[in-house]
Structure 1
């Protein structure tokens, strides 16, 4: 599927941004321009079932990855994926072949069992109010709360159900295909300390943004950008 894209900046030095579940390119409303100021032409996608991209019968991680390969240019300077976008990037990184890859709190392990991944927890987000989003994300700026409300309206909640098939599976990459950074929330419920240590042993650089929640770039934008120093 050809995905909807949004671009900031211009030039030959390309950065690719891939958002997480329930979001779209607007989650990068600060990161996109900030990277453009550093000389990148930044291309952000809307994954299938999100934003202005098409809806589909299947939302398996492999489908998301195939869409990236079909839509985005290979050989970018930087590719950055958050959460589901991080998982998707890891499945497409060999074909996209960016010079550097950054995985922001990637969804490489969805817990299973009674207290594990439950799609209905995500689908209930469709009815969240502004006040509830503010309470859940006290560090977000007001504009991000408004963007969350807007993206939830466009999001196809069927995307949450196809992730059941990967719950409980260890999806940590065996090695970095390209030089790779993993930047984590504090604490990360997707990459715990044991898995972070495994990633380090496998050749990934791992950094943590102290006190930041899962959506690091919205919780602590300055801390997020600092965590990328040396990689952007």
Structure 2
């Protein structure tokens, strides 16, 4: 599927941004312009079932990854993926071949079991209220809460069920296909300390943004950009 894209800047270097589940390109409202100010042309996608991209009958991890390859040019200077976007990028990175990749609190392990990942529970977020979003994300700016409400309206909650197939599965990459940074929330619910150590041994640089929640770039924009030092 060809995905909807949004662009910031006209720089000579290309950066790609891939959002997480329930979001769309608007989650990068500060990151996109910040990278553009550093000389990048920044392209952010809306994954299938999100934003202005099309809906589909299948929402498997491979579907998301294949869409990236179909939509985005290979050989970008930088590619950044958050959560589901990080998992998706890791499945497409060899084909996209960016010079550097950043995985922000990537969804490389969704706990399974009775109390683990359930698509139906995540799908309920479709009806989240302003008060609930604010309570779950107390560090977000009001504009990010507004954006979350708007993105939930156009999100196909069926995407939540597509991830059940990989719940409680080891999705960590076997190695860094390109020079790669992993930025983690504090603590991360998706990448444990043990997994972080494994990633370091597999050639990834791992940095934690102190005090940040899962959506690091919205919780602590300054901390997120600081964590990218040397990578952008």
TM-score by length of 2: 0.99
Show the 5 A alignment for 1:1-232. Answer: 1-232=1-232
Does the residue aligned with 2:108 lie in a helix, a strand or coil? coil
Quick check: 2:11–2:36 contact (8 Å CA) kept in 1?
no
- In structure 1, the gaps of 5 or more residues are none
Deviation at 1:12, TM superposition (A): 2.5
Residue 144 of structure 1 deviates from its aligned partner by 0.1
* CA distance in 1 between partners of 2:219 and 2:56 (Å): 31
Distance 1:207 1:225 in 2: 12
CA shift, 1:43, in A, is 0.1
Please give the per-residue CA displacement for 1:73-119, whole angstroms capped at 9, x wherever unaligned.
10000000000000000000000000000000000000100111011
- TM norm structure 1: 0.99
Cα distance between partner residues in 1 of 2:67 and 2:123: 23
Question: Runs (4+) of structure 1 moved beyond 2 Å?
Answer: none
Q: How many residues align?
A: 232
SS, match of residue 27 in structure 1:
helix
CA distance in 2, matches of 1:82, 1:51: 16
Q: What SS does the aligned partner of 2:144 have?
A: helix
